Amino acid sequence: MKFAIHPLFPSLVAAGVVVLAAASYSVRAADPATNGQAPRPALTVAVTQQQRVPVPLRVAANGNIAAWQEASIGTEANGLRLADVKVNVGDVVKRGQVLATFAPDTVLADQAQIRASVAEAEAALAEAAANAQRARELQTTGALSAQQINQYLTAERTAQARLEAQRALARSQQLRVGQTRVLAPDHGVISSRSATVGAVLPAGQELFRLIRQGRLEWRGEVPAADLSRVKPGQAVEVTAASGAKLTGKVRMVAPTVDVQTRNGLVYVDLAPSNEARAGMFGRGEIDVGTQESMTLPQSAVMLRDGFHYVLRVGPDSKVSQLKVKVGRRIGDRIEIASGVPAEAKVVASGGGFLADGDLVKVVEAPAPSIAKQ
């Protein structure tokens, strides 16, 4: 079978060759490697170097928030009926404020009886004193015998003693009358109440518990190895279970260490706060001083596959990935424990967009500002 060749076929083939040649030339012109031009950087970055800054040293501890001192308020009088309770849990009270009252009926009746006894003793003393005075006047006349005179004088002293006893009993009863009112021994907050109206209570029965002066403290458990670094007056920051930040100062360090846990207690006075409650758990950090350490901005340190890395910029403007060991964070900076030479220049930010060996363009970065801690 014979095929006919179209008259325009040679022209179409020639045109196709021309188009392919032009396309090949365009690709070669766009490729810097084939055109002798420098490769283009993957990213424009600013570089930074490690800086030595004072890093605060802190001792971490766990513990509970408790009352600085708790007062137990109970009954002093015995066998009285509780008539009225004036405060409840959470109330703020002042020293001398009336918290509860007992029915004073029996106490007042006893007091009236004792007053009558005092009056009787005063009358008996007056009579005995008059007789003794007459006996003294007649002592030189011989109208009374020495025995009678001695009896009158003794009766006077006996009446005086009985009066003093009745007066002492009256003062005691006056104190018992005062015990019908339960008073706050100090300023503070009522933390518990067991008083019930109508109850007849024995002496010594607890009615209330009071957080003295409303002061709370944090009792942190510090390992024995760190206990010698903790001193009174050091600043402490406590994070409560609610997330609230509480501040305080070390008041004292316990003189003993628990033989089971090998931890010692540190008592920290907390600043007044509505977030703190006695019995809450808190994590604390005790500021025990400062130490000079090498740091980088946190933006320069990347977290990849569970490890920390920085990108070092070499003289050829290519980055190399370095694995580093980090320490504490200070504001917007992070401590570099090892892995980076002190004079190395690293990518300040944006390292997450780069890979090991990428070419970058370096620009001047503003001087870092280090916040004081």
* pLDDT at position 26: 40
- Reported residue count of the chain is 373
Note whether 259 and 359 are same-domain residues: no
**Same domain (yes/no): 148, 208:** no
Task: Give residue-wise pLDDT tens across range 44-89.
Answer: 888 888 888 888 888 999 999 999 999 999 999 888 999 999 999 9
Whether residue 325 is contained in a domain is answered as: yes
Predicted model pTM: 0.64
Specify whether 85 is located in the same domain as 190.
yes
Q: What is the pLDDT of residue 367?
A: 54
pLDDT confidence of residue 355: 85
The pLDDT of residue 41? 80
**Tens-digit pLDDT profile for residues 97-118:** 999 999 998 899 999 999 999 9
**Domain CATH for 228:** 2.40.30.170
Give the separation between CA 242 and CA 280, rounded to whole angstroms: 9
Question: If you write DSSP's letter for every residue of 138-188 in order, what string do you get?
Answer: TTTTTSS-HHHHHHHHHHHHHHHHHHHHHHHHHHHHHHHHHTTEEE-SSSE
* Co-location of 309 and 333 in the same domain: yes
- Of 31-40, 299-308, 335-344, the one with minimum mean pLDDT is 31-40
Could you read off the pLDDT of 183-209 as tens digits, one per residue? 999 999 999 999 999 999 999 999 999
More confident residue, 146 or 123: 123
Average pLDDT over residues 133-153: 83
Least confident of 24-28, 71-75, 180-184, 209-213: 24-28
Containing domain of residue 274, as a range? Answer: 59-69+215-289
**What's residue 342's pLDDT?**
84
Q: Above pLDDT 90, what percent of the chain? A: 51
Higher model confidence: residue 20 or residue 161?
Answer: 161
Residue 340 within any structural domain of the chain: yes
- With cut-offs at 50, 70 and 90, classify the pLDDT of residue 212: very high
CATH number for 132:
1.10.287.470
Angle formed by the axes of helices 146-178 and 105-137, nearest 10° = 160
Of 74, 315, 95, 299, nearest in space to 203 by CA: 74
Q: Are residues 115 and 236 in the same domain?
A: no
Using pLDDT thresholds of 50, 70 and 90, give the confidence band for residue 134: confident
217-254 pLDDT, tens digit per residue, is 999 999 999 999 999 999 999 999 888 999 999 999 99
**Is the pLDDT assigned to residue 366 strictly greater than 80?**
no
**Are 209 and 252 contained in the same domain?**
no
Q: How far is CA 259 from CA 11, 25, 221, 369, in A?
A: 103, 85, 13, 47
pLDDT in tens, 215-226: 999 999 999 999
Q: Is residue 372 part of a domain?
A: no
Say whether both 192 and 314 belong to one domain. Answer: no
Does the residue 35 lie in any domain?
no
Q: Are residues 93 and 185 in the same domain?
A: yes
Judgement on whether residues 110 and 234 belong to the same structural domain of the protein: no
Q: Which of the listed residues 254, 289, 324 is the one where a domain comes to its end?
A: 289
Looking at mean pLDDT, say which of 37-41, 354-358, 361-365 comes out highest: 354-358
The CATH number linked to 303 is 2.40.420.20
Provide the number of structural domains found in the chain.
4
pLDDT at 324 over 70: yes
| 38 found inside a domain | no
pLDDT in the model for residue 307: 92
Query: Which of 289, 318, 335 is the last residue in one of the domains?
Result: 289
Please state, in angstroms and rounded to a whole number, the distance separating the CA atoms of residues 32 and 143. 152
Closest by CA position to 188, among listed 113, 259, 272, 314: 272
Are 185 and 285 members of one domain?
A: no
Using pLDDT thresholds of 50, 70 and 90, give the confidence band for residue 356: confident
H/E stretch holding 9? helix 9-30
Digit-coded pLDDT (tens) for 260-297: 999 999 999 999 988 889 999 999 999 998 888 889 99
Asked if residue 319 and residue 268 are part of one domain, the reply reads: no
pLDDT averaged over the chain? 85
Tell whether 20 is covered by a domain: no
Asked, for residue 22, whether it belongs to a domain, the answer is: no
Is residue 27 over pLDDT 60? Answer: no
Boundary (domain end) residue, out of 289, 317, 346? 289
Q: Quote the DSSP letter at residue 54.
A: E
Residue 14: its pLDDT value, please?
A: 42
Q: In terms of domains, do 219 and 283 share one?
A: yes
Q: What backbone phi and psi angles, to 5 degrees, belong to 282?
A: -145, 145
Instruction: Say what the pLDDT of residue 36 is.
Output: 53
What order of strands is seen across the sheet that includes strand 181-183?
Answer: 181-183, 98-102, 80-85, 200-201
* Spatial separation of the C-alpha atoms in residues 48 and 297, rounded to whole Å: 8
pLDDT range class, residue 120, cuts 50, 70, 90: very high
